[in-house]
Amino acid sequence: MKRLAAIVVLSALGCRGQTSEEPPVALLRNMHQQQRYNPQARSRMFADGRTMRPPVEGTVPFGSLIDDARVATGREEDNSAYVPTVPEPVVSQATYRDDQGRRHEGMDALTLRGHERFNIYCAPCHGRAGDGLGMVYLRSRRPSVGFPYPQPANLHDARVRHMPDGQLYATISNGVRNMPSYAAQVPVNDRWAIVAYVRALELSQAPNDGAMP
């Protein structure tokens, strides 16, 4: 009887709605709480001391494997030369929705997308017109800057105009001399889109050899 009274009193006192800083009593811990590492934390288990393990060499991020060598590298299957034109699968799969919601396909879509990407990623150095007089270049020439950035190529030079499409693609992917690679910022299909747009830009300013009506 005494014991019953004690249980009644204690349970009445126990539920007064106070807050507690103590962790809740977990009768069965299961897997709710278990040891783990925090991101970027140190580990004594691995020789390099990192808990975040680098991916196995040759790992390809899910969904980004391109098994068409011409599309991936801009070079022929046998690596003998650059591909002359944007590979067909890239063109046929391209779609683009413009500001008015109109849907474009094929080369049309690729060029529109390339226009957008070119103005974001290439124009700061090469200029919107592709003449190599972008803002980065011009501003770096101000005496107060103290570091004159090397002159970006004029994309209307005969040398660039006569490059195969694959070489333009490879330039974006790998960089060239003073130009850094843009592979990390620009995904493969967008690189080809930029190539398509650069070709249109070049045509628009090319000496009129009858190609443009």
Q: Which residues bind ligand HEC (CB under 6 A)?
A: 121-122, 124-126, 136, 150, 152-153, 155, 160, 168, 171-172, 176-179, 182, 186, 194, 198
Min. distance of Cβ 92 from ligand HEC in angstroms? 22
Min. distance of Cβ 61 from ligand HEC in angstroms? 21
The smaller minimum CB distance to ligand HEC, of residues 92 and 151, is found at 151
The smaller minimum CB distance to ligand HEC, of residues 50 and 161, is found at 161
The smaller minimum CB distance to ligand HEC, of residues 107 and 121, is found at 121
The smaller minimum CB distance to ligand HEC, of residues 70 and 165, is found at 165
Residue with tokens 């991916």: 55
Beta carbons of 36 and 45 less than 8 angstroms apart: no
The smaller minimum CB distance to ligand HEC, of residues 51 and 154, is found at 154
Q: One-letter amino acid identity for 188?
A: V
- Residue 130 tokens read as 């592709």
Min. distance of Cβ 48 from ligand HEC in angstroms? 33
Beta carbons of 198 and 99 less than 8 angstroms apart: no
Beta carbons of 83 and 72 less than 8 angstroms apart: no
Min. distance of Cβ 210 from ligand HEC in angstroms? 24
C-alpha distances in angstroms, 40 versus 43, 55, 139, 153? 9, 15, 38, 41
CA distance 26 to 89: 58
Min. distance of Cβ 168 from ligand HEC in angstroms? 5
CA distance 57 to 60: 9
CA distance 89 to 73: 14
